[in-house]
Amino acid sequence: MTSKSSDHLESLEPSRPLLRRERRRLTIRNELALAVLPTVTVLAVLALVEALTEQRLLFASLASSAFLIYLDPEHGANRVRALVFSQFFASLIGWAAFETIGAGYIAAGTALVVTTVAMILADAVHPPAVATAMSFALRAKDASNLLLFILALTITAALVAMQRAAVWSIVRLRK
């Protein structure tokens, strides 16, 4: 558990009022421009997943991460620490559940519970990570764990870059 007070959970904090105010002032054109980055990221991830593995469930949770970042890049759940910690440990927890229990609902349920507890204890709550844990536990056919892990880390790095770009874009696109 972190040394933070239980009254203050950083990963549950909304974005700064100034950023929320700037976001509300965006035009439809600028809002659509801001949506380009997560859309391109998700399409690139879809192509990568299709090329490397049959593990399509992993794509869904990371697509959710991309659009949460687009919606509110400074929300505590979308900050770099919460995103990286939760997705990284969710993939490990899901993989461990698969390896110890085998693919199926019990492994997925175990991964869901353990991931949720880990995120809360670490104050690194990023909800799509629960789906990541479950997708690793429900691993499709003989998909390589190594490829899945490398894929998850690569996509997480892209999402971190997207978070930084989204904040920069919101401030720059305001009118």
Q: What is the pLDDT of residues 5-38, one digit of tens each?
A: 445 666 666 666 655 565 666 677 877 777 787 7
Angle at 60 between CA 148 and CA 93, to 5 degrees: 45
pTM over 0.85: no
For the stretch 34-75, pLDDT in tens is 778 778 877 877 777 777 666 666 777 888 888 888 788 778
Cα–Cα nearest to 77, from 13, 19, 168, 21: 13
Which DSSP string corresponds to 16-35? PHHHHHHHHT--HHHHHHHH
Q: How far is CA 86 from the centre of its chain?
A: 7
Cα–Cα nearest to 15, from 170, 175, 173: 170
